Amino acid sequence: MGPAVELWKETEMAKTKTKYEKLCEKIVLWEDKKTKKAKRKLHRTERGVEKTKLKALQRYTEDNERIGIIVASARAHAYESQMKEELKVKQKANLMRTTGRSPSTCL
């Protein structure tokens, strides 16, 4: 039962890791997209009068701060979810070791 449990644990951990790596990639892509959009908007409105330039620059900095807050929150949530999921897998593997039974999803 030991090697089967270890194999199951490793595959579940690998699945979890790839899942959250993809999520982190999505977060980075979203951040890049939003930052570039804010930068384009700044350049577009910067062509106008000085007052408009100042407003545009202020809006750009506010947008970047908001984007940073959202990204930090998303990363923290993803990390927390990953840790919880990995903990569940480890607990399930320990339970399988102690009871000698495999879960219904394990071969």
Could you tell me the CA-to-CA distances from 29 to 21, 24, 72, 95, 96 in Å, in that order?
A: 12, 9, 14, 39, 39
Q: Does residue 24 carry a pLDDT above 70?
A: yes
Region 86-106: mean pLDDT is: 81
When mean pLDDT is compared across 52-56, 74-78, 92-96, the lowest value belongs to 52-56
Q: Is residue 97 part of a domain?
A: no
Per-residue pLDDT, averaged over 1-27, amounts to: 89
Q: Is residue 99 part of a domain?
A: no
Q: Give the residue numbers spanning the domain of 43.
A: 1-85
| 11 SS3 class | helix
Lookup: tokens for 93:
């593997």
The H-or-E segment that residue 91 falls in is helix 50-99
> Quick check: is 15 in a domain?
yes
Residue 37 located in a structural domain: yes
- pTM beyond 0.85, yes or no: no
Report the C-alpha gap between 78 and 75 in whole angstroms: 5
pLDDT at 104 (0 to 100):
62
Q: Is 73 a domain residue?
A: yes
Residue 3 lies in a domain: yes
**Cα Dmax for the chain:** 75
1 — pLDDT class (breaks 50, 70, 90): low
Q: What is the mean pLDDT of residues 30-58?
A: 85
98 part of a folded domain? no
State yes or no: pLDDT of 107 exceeds 90: no
Question: Is 91 a member of any domain?
Answer: no
Rounded Cα–Cα distance for residues 78 and 19 (Å)? 10
Give the model's pLDDT for residue 55: 85
The dihedrals phi and psi of 102, each to the nearest 5 degrees, come to -100, 150
Number of domains in the chain: 1
Is residue 21 over pLDDT 80? yes
